[in-house]
Amino acid sequence: MRLTLKHQIILAPAAVLLLMALLLGFLQYTYWDLSRKRQEARNLGTVFVALAEAELATQRMHSLLMQLGGEPLVDVRCFGS
């Protein structure tokens, strides 16, 4: 079955437009997926930075407690009455 020239003229640009629309959809999906993965990686990096800061804070508190360990502490109950 052969298409007439009129149908061939109409069908060629329609096929090109359809292929371009499919390509655009694929590229849009790929960009969205990469953006989502980049955001997840950024969030994971933020978590690691927060954990590192918490670890440093606990180390500072531990060293401060070790320095104060030999000194007598003030009893706050004696200031109550």
CA dihedral 8, 9, 11, 12 (to 10 degrees): 100
Q: Which domain holds residue 64?
A: 5-68
16 in any annotated domain: yes
CA geometry: angle at 40 spanning 39 and 44, to 5°? 115
Q: What is the pLDDT of residue 63?
A: 87
**Residue 44 covered by a domain:** yes
pLDDT at 81 over 60: no
**pLDDT above 80: residue 40:** yes
Mean pLDDT of 11-20: 96
Phi, psi of 75 (to 5 degrees): -85, 115
Q: Is residue 75 part of a domain?
A: no
Residue 46 pLDDT greater than 90, yes or no: yes
Q: Is the confidence at residue 49, as pLDDT, over 60?
A: yes
Segment 6-13 shows an average pLDDT of 91
C-alpha span between 34 and 26 (Å, rounded): 12
Half-sphere exposure in the Cβ direction for 57 (13 Å, CA): 6
Domains of the chain: total: 1
**Would you state the structure tokens that stand for residue 70, as one six-digit string?**
């030999």
Q: Please tell me which residue, 80 or 10, carries the higher pLDDT value.
A: 10
